Structure 1
Amino acid sequence: MQAQPLASIEASLEHTDDSDRQETSEWLDALAGVARHGGADRVGFLMRRLAEHAPIDAAQHADILRGMRRHATMGNGTPQVRLLGSGAILREVIAAAEVLAQEWGIAAEVWSVTSFSELARDAQAAQRERLFASGVADEARSHLETCLAGSAPVVAATDYVRAYANLIAPYVDAPYTALGTDGFGRSDTRPALRRFFEVDRRHVVLAALAAVDPDKHRAALARDGATDLPPAPWQC
């Protein structure tokens, strides 16, 4: 009984043009965990809640298909940092933006990334046009370049290895930091794993502060009381 909702989802994919199978796999893995611990009813509940948010305007729909859309701006004034979250880690990014606004007075723009690979392909195509197509010059701009125009630093967090989020790094003009789950497989609770792999809200906040205000970054480290840096996740 528990596998039925996932089987239904996977069956539907056979008739759908899956633009990012890696992203799909992430969501299916997450739902599989829900099914194991909460059963089919819990999976069905989550899917219904997702469906409630499905109606979107045409512009947002287009942005989702192209790889990213703006979720929200947290704090007052012009955003000083852009935070990118993918899949389940988007919740951590949203929470990090709230901490930055409430505790550090830093406004942050949050972006939901549906596909780093699609963003990279589109940016690569735009770059190719600028390089080799006559009469194009700077007119060819990718969706990524349009969304992340300007010099405000960008911090991207996913629960894949950093290389995934770094696919777009060559096409971002602003300072860019990628957080990911580089390392070996482990078994623990989701919060513990995100903390271990340094993709939870605390680490997103620290990365944002380091990019925006070194003094506040040092203050945040001091407030945490951390003295010795633990071994890197990929060394454990």
Structure 2
Amino acid sequence: MRAARILGRGAVRSGCVAAIPLPSCRPRPHSSRIRRQMIPERNTCVRRCHAMRERHPTAIDGDPVAGSELAALVACVEAGSIHGAADRLNLTQSAVTKRLQRLEARLGVQLLVRSAHGVSLTPAGTLVHPRAEAALAALAGIPEAVAQHVGSAANLLELAASHTIGDALLSGWLLAFGRDHPQVRPTIEVINSPGVLEALRGGRAAIGFVEGDDPADDMNRLPVARDE
């Protein structure tokens, strides 16, 4: 008479996020010959870039663009004014202005034109604005993505079974288990009995099914069926 045994051993998983800073907008060095060939508009852009950095000495080259700065830009465009953006973000107008100035200093370009009628995007701002919206949407989606990943991992049940049990018994057990626990998604690896023990010890499976009375002192064991 042989006994079918269920073996179990816990497994822990972990994960990491990197943030890649956006590169700073810095004019490339040119030789004196190429500089003489630059069109006036390009020279004007370079001069404005240097002037912008001089007006905002707190900006640090190489810093990643902050989400709060992008949010200030997007809010200004949506509200049509710095005052409206401040109301949307629950900030003072000076705080919104400082975030915009810091973003412009990082990039070395003017993004908004301020007037008595509100704000409007410059050509550079038109380039940055949709990317700012996409970046903010990606940031907003991070908690949901992590929650889905954690929930999916929590509902995953990794099983390993010997050939005899996997072929003859396990499918019926899983059908009954699925009716009582529909949220759990089992995965099954059918291998020989030593392979089941190896899968448990290596963390590839949380529960294993083997037949026979071979000892596994480092496992929690429970008889689940007997073959008369």
Normalising by the smaller structure, the TM-score range is: under 0.3
Q: TM-score, normalised by structure 2?
A: 0.23
Q: TM-score, normalised by structure 1?
A: 0.23
Greater Rg, structure 1 or structure 2? 2
Q: When you count strand as a share of all residues, which structure comes out higher?
A: 2
Q: When you count helix as a share of all residues, which structure comes out higher?
A: 1
